[in-house]
Amino acid sequence: MAVFLPHLMSAPLLPLAILAITVLVLSTLAAADTTVQARQEQRQKEESGEAVALTKTHAVGFGFLASIGLLAMWMWSNVLVYMSLLTFGLGSFVSIQQCMPNIMKRLGLGRGHQWHHMAVAGLLVVSWFWHRNSRYSWIFQDILGGFTITLMLKVLKAPSMSSPTLLLLTAFVYDVFFVFVTPYLTKSGESIMEAAATGAAMTVKETIPMLFRIPSFSPNGGEAMLGFGDVVLPGILITFLKECDARLEEDQCLVGLATSMTGRTDLLSIPKPMPSPLYISRKSWWSRRWGYHLTAVLGYALGLEVTFVAMMWSGKGQPALLYLVPCTLLPAILLASKRHELSLLWHGWDELESETMLLDLGTDIDAEDEHEGEKITSVVSQDRMQGKVSLEPSSEILI
């Protein structure tokens, strides 16, 4: 490690790692639905077809479709490269328009007008297309890639941990096969993945835009590259984990609310450990429990560094998901298992009896407690279904 540390701390690997982790964190935070209203809007989008709830069928189908697309790009790269440029440009234009209102709001500029968003999106996309073959094209490509990944994570949402886990395992096999196995199946002995990503088989002066690029700025040239899929696929799981953090803290706050009103601590039928006595108030960041989102992000960062070490050790390109999948997935699974929350995360909240936090008072309590519990259930259920309950993790509960 002492031999590789100077390389990991120098260009272009360190900037690429910082870029990938920054995009992953910002995009998952932006895509996660952490409030009741956001979850209701997401359901409406799924019903209208504007968003997709990731299923196990989608996860298995990814490997098949991705394999066909990669083989086509390898065999007909001179033609399909222009299709990829068009797809990337249009996707980036839409992504920037979707993200601009929230960005402007964060900057204190309001949400702006539609023509503002279109102007910014058009300017960035045209700048990238005009300079796509220049030495500075990577700047625009990386910026557009960050917006594109954010929109993809907003559209592809996981209702439970099982579907993104299966997706990552499928992508793990897909990545390993096309990097390590295909050199034995091609006449030239080249990796299909690397040849398609770098455009080695192309005779036209174009490059595939679906990856992050950081140049080395050295006389020898060269670039460090990371595919968008190496951020998007783990990002689907990490976005779900961020939503889990919000839901678990939200549910614990409801436990505190019900406990303070009835004096009982056995009201919720959610299969998770009961919290210690909770007060419903604004929490400082250091008083919160360790989150699944942060755990997965740190695991992803570790997996990225392991990828770089393996690349320098072997002197060849590496399938990033070979290292990213276990480093991202296993820490979250181990933490959930230790907390006895793995079953809840694995199946998701949709398998509970509706989203209304049912209060199961049982038959052994007195009539007064039963009446009070039903009253709380009615109020909480009605307000949550109408989106009137503000249950953001860092805010007070307002009913």
Q: Does the annotation count 230 as an active-site position?
A: yes
Catalytic residue among 33, 142, 230, 251: 230
Instruction: Find all residues with CB under 8 Å of 265, minimum gap 6, and list them.
Output: 255, 259, 274
> Rounded CA gap, 355 and 360, in Å?
14
Question: What tokens were used for 177?
Answer: 């096969």
Q: From the CB of residue 96, how many other CB atoms can be counted at a distance below 10 Å? A: 25
Catalytic residue among 33, 142, 175, 245: 175
Q: Does the annotation count 175 as an active-site position?
A: yes
Residues annotated catalytic, as ranges: 175, 230
